Amino acid sequence: MNPLYTTEALATGAGRNGTVQVADGNLSFDLAVPKEMGGSGNGNNPEQLFAAGYAACFHSALQLVARAAKQDLGDSSVGARVSIGKEGEGFGLAVELEVIVPALPHEVSQQLAEKAHEVCPYSNATRGNIEVTLVVAED
């Protein structure tokens, strides 16, 4: 790979109950274990960050493949639902991506979403490692 961009983040404190800051200082926040996992819930958590990143990256990939196919996505959106749970001796993740493209027929949206899933860097990084479900909303 020939990197086009690299960023850094530093986690300090007590891991999931610590602080995260990116190197350029444009993003910094407190972390907290979610209430569902026995924490206070008074902060963000890694799953929220992963969901936000995956949703944005996948939406960009969807726009890329739509442009190549000369399709107008209109007012499209991508939601990412990230789950964490026990898996064997440790923990695992699962993702559900919901693609909404009201401007196009469902079949076209489905094809574009599947193509985006092939080129999205997050999809490529997770493929074969975690369960990722792709859902394209009906018209």
Mean pLDDT, residues 90-101 taken together: 98
Question: What is the dotted CATH code of the domain comprising 46-137?
Answer: 3.30.300.20
Sign of CA dihedral 63, 24, 3, 47: negative
Q: Where are the alpha helices (DSSP H) in 18-120?
A: 46-68, 106-119
Q: How many CB atoms lie within 10 A of CB 38?
A: 8
* One-character DSSP codes across 100-139: E-TTS-HHHHHHHHHHHHHH-HHHHHHTTTSEEEEEE---
pTM of the predicted model, to two decimals?
Answer: 0.95
**Residues in the chain, total:** 139
Q: Which amino acid is at 115?
A: K
b/e for 100-113, b at 16 or more Cβ within 10 A? Answer: bbeebeeeebbbbb
Tokens of 113: 């979403």
Q: In the chain, which segments carry CATH 2.20.25.10?
A: 1-44
Q: In the chain, which segments carry CATH 3.30.300.20?
A: 46-137
Q: What are the tens digits of pLDDT across the range 35-86? A: 999 999 999 999 999 999 999 999 999 999 999 999 999 999 999 999 999 9
Does 106 have pLDDT greater than 70?
Answer: yes
CATH class of 1-44: mainly beta
Q: What are the tens digits of pLDDT across the range 4-24? A: 999 999 999 999 999 999 999
Q: Note the pLDDT of residue 138.
A: 87
Mean pLDDT, residues 97-126 taken together: 98
Residues 6+ apart with CB under 8 A from 49: 20
